[in-house]
Amino acid sequence: MGDTLNINNKAQQQNTYDAIVIGSGISGGWAAKELCDNGLKTLLLERGKNVVHIKDYPTATLAPWQFPHRGEMPLKIRQANPVVSRCYAFYEGTQHFFVKDSEHPYVQQKPFDWIRGYQVGGKSLLWARQTQRWSKFDFEGPARDGYAVDWPIRYEDIAPWYSHVEKFAGISGNYDGLETLPDGEFLPAWEMNCAEKDIQQRINAAYPNRKVIQGRCAHLTKPNAIHIQQGRSQCQARSLCERGCPFGGYFSSNASTIPWALKTGNLTIQPGSVVHSILFDDKKNKAVGVNVVDAQTKKTTQYFAKIIFINAACFNTNLILLNSISNRFPNGFGNDNGLLGKYIAFHNYRGTVSASFDGPMDKYYYGRRPTQPMMPNFRNVYKQEMDFLRGYMTFYGAGRALGNESDAKDPIGAGYKNAMAEAGPWQVSMMMQGETIPKKTNEVYLSKDKKDEWDIPQLVFNVGYDDNDEKLLKDFLAQASEMLDKAGCKNIQQHDSNQAPGLDIHEMGGCRMGSDPKTSLLDKWNAFHHCKNVFVTDGASMVSTSTQNPSLTFMALTARAANHAVEELKKMNM
């Protein structure tokens, strides 16, 4: 199906656009916005159902008692879907935005928890919304440490595009002046509570080279004019984000980029469109379109465009490319070097440290703040100093749980009710977000014998931890315990979840950027070395993972690539 020999000329005329974007999540939404803003008639293909902002958020305003099981998932559903049930955001109020294991199987050669959201907006409805710029150290790291190919860009190349997407999306944060975590275009930051401020001051005083700062997140603390124009309003701190936000208080494709693109009159959204493969024309030596299988009827249709953006999320992007077989690319699209699907990386979330803290017992806090304090990576930043490569970002938070059953004299009645209404002691939790090293042996590939219901091969996962991950985890547990001890915390306990890779939902790699076609698939503009009118700007394109959350970088890379594609079209280079 990957060849163009059977093109129907009439269908080509009817189904031709200036641009095709595959996937409507965070990066796909940005591709559609930028292309439409530049006047390109754009087809946005989404394999899942349509989700319209506000209208299709059925649980957004429901109270806990309005759910059949008070939000909990029934045992039968959890047993039938063990992978997605491990995701923190999967519950009765959000299950309609998640892919069920039983409906979309994949092959785990090694355990991997693949979390997916198939609908217009994708996982932009479900993400944790933490947004940090990468620093110069992250883009220079591979070249310095030798753990991956050199990034073909540097911080200076992407910095203007960080600003571009930050202003539109709305990012809250403080101007901290840190070289390891560059400042951006910020809305006012959320405030730490009193215990967190106390811990922050003690850690900062004890470690001059480590800085605890308030987390940065894609929430409108104080909307600007551009956000009002999008129809969005201030975040209400409800902490029900993953149900879809009727206020548009956090950034999602549904609330922001897609409605904006629709207003241009240049966007066509087509849900229920499972992309099978990319069409490559051997005579023209370029991609000319895509093969799409209707999710319901299973009928295949071809769509055509001058440029194609593949933003199906890291693993589905790899799957589409691996399945795009043609005379020119017999081993997968653009895969002359055989590296497609390899060098997969992710974030290591296994380590947490908990403790108690003698915070002020006469103080509490209000609201459900959508971020928490954090500390940029401090390991191997300026030089290689540890017995492991790279490092980890640290997040922490302090709070008081309501209800202390041990204070109740009776297990029922007014005394019990009063005890449960009292705020308990202060508790602290610190977690890691560790950088994993891209390895050739961490790979995904197509199954030779298992297919899905659309006759597309299932994806096989061969991705796991290595010794570097274990050393990094050990160091985090030791350092987090030491920091909490110096901050005055007590009852410090270390935890290794031993969870499989995947629950970070920060998967990256498989179709990485680079300067050399022998060791990478994409150039510095996220276009294929061997096919300049096809772009990949989601997680699949990443060379390395850094320690920061990746979504803001996906957005910036996408906006940069889309505007480059437009310029190339104007120059008739496409």
14-40 tens-digit pLDDT: 899 999 999 999 999 999 999 999 999
Checking if the pLDDT of 464 tops 70, the result is: yes
In this structure, are residues 545 and 436 in contact, taking their beta carbons and an 8 Å threshold? yes
In this structure, are residues 370 and 237 in contact, taking their beta carbons and an 8 Å threshold? yes
In this structure, are residues 438 and 145 in contact, taking their beta carbons and an 8 Å threshold? no
Checking if the pLDDT of 419 tops 90, the result is: no
Distance CA 558, CA 535 (A): 9
Checking if the pLDDT of 11 tops 50, the result is: yes
Q: Tell how far CA 37 is from the center of its chain.
A: 24
pTM of the model: 0.96
In the numeric block, which tokens belong to residue 470? 């274990």
Q: How does the average pLDDT of the chain come out, rounded? A: 95
The domain segmentation of the chain, as residue ranges, is 178-214+350-436+465-499
Residues pairing with 439 in the sheet: 344
63 burial type by CB count under 10 A (0-12 exposed, 13-18 middle, 19+ buried): exposed
- In this prediction, residue 402 carries a pLDDT of 76
Q: Tell how far CA 57 is from the center of its chain.
A: 21
Checking if the pLDDT of 2 tops 70, the result is: no
pLDDT digits (tens, 9 = 90+) for 515-569: 999 999 999 999 999 999 999 999 999 999 999 999 999 999 999 999 999 999 9
Checking if the pLDDT of 134 tops 70, the result is: yes
The pair phi, psi for residue 115, each rounded to 5°, is -100, 125
At 217, is the secondary structure helix, strand, or coil?
A: strand
> Which of 434, 339, 324 is CA-nearest to residue 389?
434
Checking if the pLDDT of 211 tops 70, the result is: yes
Extract long-range pairs of 522-527: CB within 8 Å, 24+ residues apart.
522/334, 523/152, 524/152, 524/153, 524/157, 525/560, 525/561, 525/564, 525/565, 526/557, 526/558, 526/560, 526/561, 527/561, 527/564, 527/565
Cβ partners under 8 Å of residue 201, min gap 6: none
In this structure, are residues 375 and 386 in contact, taking their beta carbons and an 8 Å threshold? no
pLDDT band with cut points at 50, 70 and 90 for residue 4: very low
The pair phi, psi for residue 269, each rounded to 5°, is -100, 130
pLDDT band with cut points at 50, 70 and 90 for residue 417: confident
- Percent of the chain residues past pLDDT 90, beyond the cut: 92
Distance CA 439, CA 346 (A): 11
Give the DSSP letter of residue 60.
Answer: T
Distance CA 321, CA 276 (A): 9
Q: Which of 247-251, 369-373, 415-419, 509-513 has the lowest mean pLDDT?
A: 415-419
- Classify 324 in phi/psi space as left (phi over 0), alpha (psi -120 to 50) or beta: beta
The pair phi, psi for residue 133, each rounded to 5°, is -70, 150
pLDDT digits (tens, 9 = 90+) for 472-492: 999 999 999 999 999 999 999
CA-CA-CA-CA torsion sign (99, 100, 105, 108): positive
- In this prediction, residue 422 carries a pLDDT of 80
- In this prediction, residue 318 carries a pLDDT of 98
